[in-house]
Amino acid sequence: MMKIKKKLFQTTERQNWTKLSEEELKRLSASRACMYGRKQETEDN
């Protein structure tokens, strides 16, 4: 039962992802890059 729910959630999530506007994608990638940069900073210290 849970596996089916998870699969359903993943497919809907993918559909939502394709619906995202370019602006939202840019904001997402920007925040991800920020998180990645922060992760690198902590690794250097």
Give pLDDT, residue 39. Answer: 65
Give the pLDDT mean for 5-20.
67
**pLDDT, tens digit, 9 for 90 and up, residues 20-40:** 677 787 888 888 777 777 666
Give me the count of residues in the chain. Answer: 45
Residue 1: pLDDT above 60?
no
Q: What whole-number percentage of the chain has pLDDT above 70?
A: 44
Write down the mean pLDDT value for the chain: 70
Residue 7 pLDDT more than 60? yes
The string over 16-38, giving b where at least 16 C-beta atoms fall within 10 Å of a residue's C-beta and e elsewhere, is eeeeeeeeeeeeeeeeeeeeeee
**Separation CA 15–CA 37 (nearest Å):** 28
Largest CA distance in the chain: 45
